[in-house]
Protein backbone atom coordinates (compact mmCIF):
# COMPACT_ATOMS: atom_id res chain seq x y z
CA UNK A 1 0.00 0.00 0.00
CA UNK A 2 1.10 3.58 -0.66
CA UNK A 3 0.02 6.16 1.91
CA UNK A 4 0.53 9.91 1.31
CA UNK A 5 -0.30 12.14 4.31
CA UNK A 6 -0.60 15.91 3.89
CA UNK A 7 1.95 18.22 5.53
CA UNK A 8 0.55 20.27 8.40
CA UNK A 9 -0.81 23.72 7.42
CA UNK A 10 -0.72 22.93 3.68
CA UNK A 11 -3.83 22.11 1.68
CA UNK A 12 -6.70 21.22 4.00
CA UNK A 13 -4.47 20.52 7.00
CA UNK A 14 -4.33 23.93 8.66
CA UNK A 15 -5.09 24.12 12.40
CA UNK A 16 -6.05 27.80 12.06
CA UNK A 17 -8.35 29.88 9.88
CA UNK A 18 -5.63 32.51 9.66
CA UNK A 19 -2.01 32.00 8.70
CA UNK A 20 -0.80 34.99 10.66
CA UNK A 21 2.84 34.90 11.70
CA UNK A 22 1.78 34.08 15.25
CA UNK A 23 -0.35 31.17 14.05
CA UNK A 24 2.50 29.76 11.98
CA UNK A 25 4.58 29.05 15.08
CA UNK A 26 3.77 25.33 14.79
CA UNK A 27 4.88 25.08 11.16
CA UNK A 28 8.29 23.40 10.96
CA UNK A 29 9.99 20.30 9.64
CA UNK A 30 10.35 19.00 13.20
CA UNK A 31 6.61 19.16 13.79
CA UNK A 32 5.99 17.53 10.40
CA UNK A 33 8.22 14.59 11.35
CA UNK A 34 6.36 14.03 14.61
CA UNK A 35 3.09 14.21 12.66
CA UNK A 36 4.36 11.47 10.38
CA UNK A 37 5.48 9.34 13.33
CA UNK A 38 2.08 9.64 15.01
CA UNK A 39 0.28 9.00 11.72
CA UNK A 40 2.40 5.93 11.05
CA UNK A 41 1.47 4.48 14.43
CA UNK A 42 -2.19 5.37 13.98
CA UNK A 43 -2.34 3.78 10.53
CA UNK A 44 -0.61 0.62 11.71
CA UNK A 45 -3.01 0.23 14.64
CA UNK A 46 -6.01 0.91 12.38
CA UNK A 47 -4.78 -1.74 9.95
CA UNK A 48 -4.36 -4.25 12.76
CA UNK A 49 -7.89 -3.61 14.01
CA UNK A 50 -9.28 -3.96 10.49
CA UNK A 51 -7.53 -7.32 10.06
CA UNK A 52 -8.46 -8.42 13.58
CA UNK A 53 -4.88 -8.87 14.73
CA UNK A 54 -2.61 -7.41 17.40
CA UNK A 55 1.08 -6.68 17.96
CA UNK A 56 1.85 -6.86 14.24
CA UNK A 57 4.26 -4.37 12.68
CA UNK A 58 4.37 -4.10 8.90
CA UNK A 59 7.64 -3.05 7.25
CA UNK A 60 7.43 0.63 6.27
CA UNK A 61 9.56 2.54 3.76
CA UNK A 62 9.43 6.34 3.41
CA UNK A 63 10.19 8.31 0.27
CA UNK A 64 9.84 11.82 -1.09
CA UNK A 65 11.32 14.39 -3.45
CA UNK A 66 12.90 17.80 -2.82
CA UNK A 67 11.76 19.12 0.61
CA UNK A 68 9.71 15.94 1.02
CA UNK A 69 12.90 14.06 0.17
CA UNK A 70 14.65 15.83 3.04
CA UNK A 71 11.75 14.94 5.33
CA UNK A 72 12.09 11.33 4.23
CA UNK A 73 15.79 11.25 5.17
CA UNK A 74 15.20 13.12 8.42
CA UNK A 75 12.40 10.74 9.38
CA UNK A 76 14.72 7.76 9.00
CA UNK A 77 17.36 9.67 11.01
CA UNK A 78 15.06 10.58 13.90
CA UNK A 79 12.72 7.56 13.88
CA UNK A 80 14.79 4.60 12.63
CA UNK A 81 12.56 2.17 14.53
CA UNK A 82 9.52 3.25 12.50
CA UNK A 83 10.83 2.72 8.97
CA UNK A 84 13.01 0.16 7.21
CA UNK A 85 14.65 2.77 5.02
CA UNK A 86 14.26 5.99 3.06
CA UNK A 87 14.51 7.35 -0.47
CA UNK A 88 15.51 11.02 -0.57
CA UNK A 89 15.07 12.03 -4.21
CA UNK A 90 16.78 15.41 -4.63
CA UNK A 91 16.51 15.58 -0.84
CA UNK A 92 17.62 19.07 0.26
CA UNK A 93 18.98 18.09 3.68
CA UNK A 94 21.48 20.97 3.91
CA UNK A 95 20.03 24.31 5.02
CA UNK A 96 21.99 27.07 3.24
CA UNK A 97 22.02 30.76 4.16
CA UNK A 98 23.59 32.18 1.00
CA UNK A 99 22.97 29.53 -1.67
CA UNK A 100 25.31 30.88 -4.36
CA UNK A 101 25.97 27.37 -5.69
CA UNK A 102 22.43 27.37 -7.07
CA UNK A 103 23.16 30.10 -9.62
CA UNK A 104 26.63 28.74 -10.36
CA UNK A 105 25.12 25.34 -11.21
CA UNK A 106 22.64 27.02 -13.55
CA UNK A 107 25.62 28.47 -15.41
CA UNK A 108 27.35 25.10 -15.61
CA UNK A 109 24.21 23.35 -16.80
CA UNK A 110 23.51 26.07 -19.38
CA UNK A 111 26.89 25.80 -21.07
CA UNK A 112 29.06 28.73 -22.12
CA UNK A 113 26.94 29.99 -25.04
CA UNK A 114 23.55 29.95 -23.32
CA UNK A 115 25.07 31.22 -20.07
CA UNK A 116 26.58 34.26 -21.80
CA UNK A 117 23.22 35.08 -23.40
CA UNK A 118 21.41 34.81 -20.05
CA UNK A 119 23.97 37.14 -18.48
CA UNK A 120 23.48 39.62 -21.32
CA UNK A 121 19.72 39.47 -20.81
CA UNK A 122 20.13 40.23 -17.11
CA UNK A 123 22.25 43.27 -17.94
CA UNK A 124 19.71 44.52 -20.50
CA UNK A 125 16.83 44.01 -18.06
CA UNK A 126 18.59 45.99 -15.34
CA UNK A 127 19.21 48.85 -17.77
CA UNK A 128 15.60 48.93 -18.96
CA UNK A 129 14.30 48.82 -15.40
CA UNK A 130 15.92 52.21 -14.92
CA UNK A 131 14.58 53.74 -18.13
CA UNK A 132 11.17 52.13 -18.71
CA UNK A 133 10.12 49.95 -15.79
CA UNK A 134 6.40 49.84 -16.59
CA UNK A 135 6.83 48.76 -20.21
CA UNK A 136 9.45 46.16 -19.29
CA UNK A 137 7.36 44.48 -16.60
CA UNK A 138 4.30 44.52 -18.83
CA UNK A 139 6.27 42.71 -21.53
CA UNK A 140 6.60 39.80 -19.08
CA UNK A 141 2.96 40.03 -17.92
CA UNK A 142 4.36 41.01 -14.53
CA UNK A 143 3.15 44.59 -14.09
CA UNK A 144 1.75 43.69 -10.66
CA UNK A 145 5.27 43.21 -9.27
CA UNK A 146 5.99 46.68 -7.92
CA UNK A 147 9.17 45.65 -6.10
CA UNK A 148 12.02 45.30 -8.60
CA UNK A 149 13.58 42.48 -6.60
CA UNK A 150 10.39 40.43 -6.92
CA UNK A 151 10.40 40.94 -10.68
CA UNK A 152 14.07 40.01 -10.99
CA UNK A 153 13.47 36.91 -8.86
CA UNK A 154 10.71 35.85 -11.25
CA UNK A 155 13.10 36.17 -14.18
CA UNK A 156 15.86 34.27 -12.36
CA UNK A 157 13.54 31.42 -11.40
CA UNK A 158 12.15 31.20 -14.92
CA UNK A 159 15.63 30.58 -16.28
CA UNK A 160 16.74 28.21 -13.53
CA UNK A 161 13.64 26.06 -13.82
CA UNK A 162 14.62 24.91 -17.31
CA UNK A 163 17.65 23.14 -15.83
CA UNK A 164 16.05 22.20 -12.53
CA UNK A 165 13.30 20.23 -14.23
CA UNK A 166 15.22 18.89 -17.20
CA UNK A 167 14.08 21.17 -20.03
CA UNK A 168 17.25 23.08 -21.04
CA UNK A 169 16.42 23.14 -24.75
CA UNK A 170 13.13 24.95 -24.07
CA UNK A 171 15.20 27.90 -22.89
CA UNK A 172 18.55 27.82 -24.62
CA UNK A 173 17.55 26.89 -28.18
CA UNK A 174 15.28 29.91 -28.82
CA UNK A 175 17.70 32.29 -27.10
CA UNK A 176 20.65 31.11 -29.17
CA UNK A 177 18.56 31.44 -32.34
CA UNK A 178 17.47 34.96 -31.33
CA UNK A 179 21.08 35.95 -30.68
CA UNK A 180 22.25 34.67 -34.06
CA UNK A 181 19.36 36.43 -35.81
CA UNK A 182 20.12 39.73 -34.10
CA UNK A 183 16.72 39.83 -32.42
CA UNK A 184 15.93 41.60 -29.16
CA UNK A 185 17.05 39.18 -26.44
CA UNK A 186 14.75 40.62 -23.79
CA UNK A 187 11.77 40.09 -26.08
CA UNK A 188 12.93 36.52 -26.75
CA UNK A 189 13.26 35.86 -23.03
CA UNK A 190 9.85 37.42 -22.36
CA UNK A 191 8.32 35.02 -24.88
CA UNK A 192 9.93 32.07 -23.08
CA UNK A 193 8.76 33.27 -19.67
CA UNK A 194 5.17 33.82 -20.81
CA UNK A 195 4.83 30.78 -23.05
CA UNK A 196 6.71 28.23 -20.98
CA UNK A 197 7.20 29.33 -17.37
CA UNK A 198 3.85 31.05 -16.88
CA UNK A 199 2.09 28.99 -19.55
CA UNK A 200 3.14 25.36 -19.88
CA UNK A 201 4.85 25.22 -16.50
CA UNK A 202 1.90 26.89 -14.81
CA UNK A 203 3.58 29.35 -12.44
CA UNK A 204 1.55 32.38 -11.35
CA UNK A 205 3.12 35.83 -11.23
CA UNK A 206 1.47 36.50 -7.87
CA UNK A 207 3.77 33.86 -6.38
CA UNK A 208 6.49 36.55 -6.48
CA UNK A 209 4.33 39.39 -5.19
CA UNK A 210 5.10 40.20 -1.57
CA UNK A 211 1.62 41.64 -1.15
CA UNK A 212 0.27 38.20 -2.09
CA UNK A 213 2.65 36.56 0.38
CA UNK A 214 1.28 38.82 3.13
CA UNK A 215 -2.21 37.40 2.67
CA UNK A 216 -2.76 35.39 5.86
CA UNK A 217 -6.04 33.77 4.83
CA UNK A 218 -5.81 30.00 5.25
CA UNK A 219 -6.75 27.91 2.25
CA UNK A 220 -5.56 25.49 -0.37
CA UNK A 221 -3.89 28.35 -2.29
CA UNK A 222 -1.77 29.63 0.63
CA UNK A 223 1.21 27.34 0.02
CA UNK A 224 3.39 30.22 -1.22
CA UNK A 225 3.19 32.01 2.13
CA UNK A 226 3.67 28.77 4.05
CA UNK A 227 6.80 27.75 2.16
CA UNK A 228 8.33 31.20 2.50
CA UNK A 229 7.72 30.99 6.25
CA UNK A 230 9.75 27.80 6.37
CA UNK A 231 12.42 29.44 4.23
CA UNK A 232 12.53 32.53 6.43
CA UNK A 233 12.50 30.65 9.73
CA UNK A 234 14.32 27.38 9.18
CA UNK A 235 16.21 26.52 5.97
CA UNK A 236 16.85 29.80 4.06
CA UNK A 237 18.07 28.44 0.71
CA UNK A 238 18.55 32.13 -0.20
CA UNK A 239 19.36 31.92 -3.92
CA UNK A 240 21.58 34.98 -3.92
CA UNK A 241 23.74 36.12 -6.82
CA UNK A 242 27.38 34.98 -6.61
CA UNK A 243 29.97 37.75 -6.34
CA UNK A 244 31.43 36.79 -9.73
CA UNK A 245 30.06 35.32 -12.95
CA UNK A 246 26.43 35.47 -11.85
CA UNK A 247 23.49 34.87 -14.17
CA UNK A 248 20.85 36.35 -11.91
CA UNK A 249 20.81 40.02 -11.02
CA UNK A 250 23.16 41.15 -8.26
CA UNK A 251 20.12 42.86 -6.73
CA UNK A 252 18.94 39.41 -5.63
CA UNK A 253 21.18 39.43 -2.59
CA UNK A 254 20.97 38.57 1.10
CA UNK A 255 19.36 41.91 1.89
CA UNK A 256 16.56 41.28 -0.60
CA UNK A 257 15.70 37.99 1.08
CA UNK A 258 15.89 39.35 4.62
CA UNK A 259 13.78 42.36 3.61
CA UNK A 260 11.19 39.99 2.12
CA UNK A 261 11.07 37.94 5.31
CA UNK A 262 10.65 41.06 7.43
CA UNK A 263 8.07 42.62 5.12
CA UNK A 264 5.96 39.46 4.95
CA UNK A 265 6.33 38.05 8.48
CA UNK A 266 7.71 40.85 10.66
CA UNK A 267 10.85 41.14 12.77
CA UNK A 268 10.28 37.92 14.73
CA UNK A 269 11.30 35.56 11.91
CA UNK A 270 14.90 34.74 10.99
CA UNK A 271 16.31 31.61 9.30
CA UNK A 272 17.98 29.48 11.97
CA UNK A 273 20.21 27.69 9.47
CA UNK A 274 22.91 26.66 11.93
CA UNK A 275 20.36 25.23 14.35
CA UNK A 276 18.67 23.30 11.54
CA UNK A 277 21.94 21.77 10.36
CA UNK A 278 23.00 21.01 13.92
CA UNK A 279 19.72 19.19 14.55
CA UNK A 280 19.74 17.12 11.34
CA UNK A 281 23.43 17.03 10.41
CA UNK A 282 23.18 18.85 7.09
CA UNK A 283 24.95 17.04 4.25
CA UNK A 284 26.79 15.01 6.93
CA UNK A 285 23.54 13.46 8.10
CA UNK A 286 24.36 10.43 10.26
CA UNK A 287 21.43 8.22 9.38
CA UNK A 288 21.43 4.77 7.84
CA UNK A 289 19.60 2.96 5.07
CA UNK A 290 18.88 6.19 3.16
CA UNK A 291 19.25 6.46 -0.61
CA UNK A 292 20.05 9.90 -2.04
CA UNK A 293 19.49 10.45 -5.78
CA UNK A 294 20.16 13.71 -7.65
CA UNK A 295 20.17 14.95 -11.23
CA UNK A 296 23.52 16.21 -12.49
CA UNK A 297 21.94 19.40 -13.89
CA UNK A 298 19.76 20.14 -10.88
CA UNK A 299 20.91 23.28 -8.99
CA UNK A 300 19.37 21.86 -5.81
CA UNK A 301 21.82 18.96 -5.70
CA UNK A 302 24.26 21.22 -3.83
CA UNK A 303 21.87 21.17 -0.87
CA UNK A 304 21.73 17.37 -0.89
CA UNK A 305 24.10 14.60 0.17
CA UNK A 306 26.27 13.56 -2.75
CA UNK A 307 29.00 11.45 -1.15
CA UNK A 308 28.19 7.76 -0.89
CA UNK A 309 28.75 5.43 2.05
CA UNK A 310 27.78 1.80 2.70
CA UNK A 311 24.82 2.77 4.88
CA UNK A 312 23.75 5.74 2.76
CA UNK A 313 24.34 5.23 -0.99
CA UNK A 314 24.23 8.34 -3.17
CA UNK A 315 23.63 8.42 -6.92
CA UNK A 316 24.05 11.23 -9.44
CA UNK A 317 22.01 10.80 -12.62
CA UNK A 318 24.00 12.27 -15.51
CA UNK A 319 22.11 13.09 -18.69
CA UNK A 320 21.29 16.18 -20.73
CA UNK A 321 17.78 16.68 -19.36
CA UNK A 322 17.91 14.96 -15.99
CA UNK A 323 16.96 17.37 -13.27
CA UNK A 324 15.05 17.55 -10.01
CA UNK A 325 13.65 14.19 -8.83
CA UNK A 326 14.30 12.51 -12.20
CA UNK A 327 14.49 9.11 -10.52
CA UNK A 328 10.89 9.57 -9.35
CA UNK A 329 9.36 11.55 -12.21
CA UNK A 330 11.47 10.91 -15.28
CA UNK A 331 12.00 13.64 -17.90
CA UNK A 332 10.90 16.27 -18.61
CA UNK A 333 8.58 17.39 -15.86
CA UNK A 334 6.69 20.30 -14.33
CA UNK A 335 4.52 20.80 -11.23
CA UNK A 336 1.48 21.15 -13.47
CA UNK A 337 2.39 17.90 -15.26
CA UNK A 338 4.55 15.76 -12.96
CA UNK A 339 4.13 12.58 -14.98
CA UNK A 340 7.50 12.53 -16.69
CA UNK A 341 8.85 9.51 -18.52
CA UNK A 342 12.36 8.03 -18.33
CA UNK A 343 12.23 7.29 -22.08
CA UNK A 344 12.18 11.06 -22.69
CA UNK A 345 15.49 11.55 -20.89
CA UNK A 346 18.52 11.94 -23.16
CA UNK A 347 20.05 8.98 -21.31
CA UNK A 348 17.12 6.84 -20.16
CA UNK A 349 19.51 4.03 -19.25
CA UNK A 350 21.04 6.28 -16.57
CA UNK A 351 17.64 6.88 -14.97
CA UNK A 352 16.59 3.25 -15.19
CA UNK A 353 19.91 2.10 -13.73
CA UNK A 354 19.51 4.33 -10.68
CA UNK A 355 15.90 3.20 -10.29
CA UNK A 356 17.08 -0.41 -10.33
CA UNK A 357 19.73 0.36 -7.71
CA UNK A 358 17.14 2.06 -5.52
CA UNK A 359 14.81 -0.92 -5.87
CA UNK A 360 17.58 -3.31 -4.87
CA UNK A 361 18.28 -1.33 -1.70
CA UNK A 362 14.58 -1.17 -0.87
CA UNK A 363 14.17 -4.92 -1.34
CA UNK A 364 17.22 -5.63 0.82
CA UNK A 365 16.22 -3.32 3.67
CA UNK A 366 12.61 -4.48 3.67
CA UNK A 367 13.75 -8.10 3.79
CA UNK A 368 16.05 -7.27 6.69
CA UNK A 369 13.08 -5.75 8.50
CA UNK A 370 11.08 -8.93 7.99
CA UNK A 371 13.96 -11.08 9.17
CA UNK A 372 14.43 -8.93 12.28
CA UNK A 373 10.92 -9.64 13.49
CA UNK A 374 8.99 -12.72 12.48
CA UNK A 375 5.81 -11.00 13.59
CA UNK A 376 5.99 -8.57 10.64
CA UNK A 377 4.02 -9.16 7.47
CA UNK A 378 3.55 -7.41 4.14
CA UNK A 379 1.00 -4.62 3.82
Confidence (pLDDT) at 347:
82
| pLDDT, tens only, 56-84 | 899 999 999 999 999 999 999 999 999 99
Contacts of 164 (CB under 8 A, 6+ apart): 297, 298, 299, 300, 323, 324
| Residue 90 CB coordination number (10 Å) | 29
- The CATH H-level superfamily of 57-93+284-372 is Alpha/Beta hydrolase fold, catalytic domain (3.40.50.1820)
Bridge pairing between strands 314-317 and 290-295 = parallel
Q: Which residues of the chain have pLDDT under 70?
A: 332-340, 373-379
Task: Report domain extents, the chain.
Answer: 57-93+284-372, 96-274
Cα distances from 174 to residues 107, 140, 141, 193, in angstroms, run 17, 16, 19, 12
Confidence (pLDDT) at 220:
77
Catalytic sites, residue numbers: 66, 298, 324
Confidence (pLDDT) at 332:
67
pTM of the complete model beyond 0.75? yes
Confidence (pLDDT) at 340:
66
Confidence (pLDDT) at 372:
80
Amino acid sequence: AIVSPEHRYYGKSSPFESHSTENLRYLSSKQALFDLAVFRQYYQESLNRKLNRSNVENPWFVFGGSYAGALSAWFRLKFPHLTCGSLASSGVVLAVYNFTDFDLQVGISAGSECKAILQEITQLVEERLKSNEKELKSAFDAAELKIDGDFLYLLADAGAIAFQYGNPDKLCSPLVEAKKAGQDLVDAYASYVKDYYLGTFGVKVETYNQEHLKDAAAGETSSDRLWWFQVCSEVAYFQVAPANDSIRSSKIDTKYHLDLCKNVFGDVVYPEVEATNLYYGGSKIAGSKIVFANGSQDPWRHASKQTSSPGMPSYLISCHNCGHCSDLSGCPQAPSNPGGDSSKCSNPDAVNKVRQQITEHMDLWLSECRDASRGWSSV
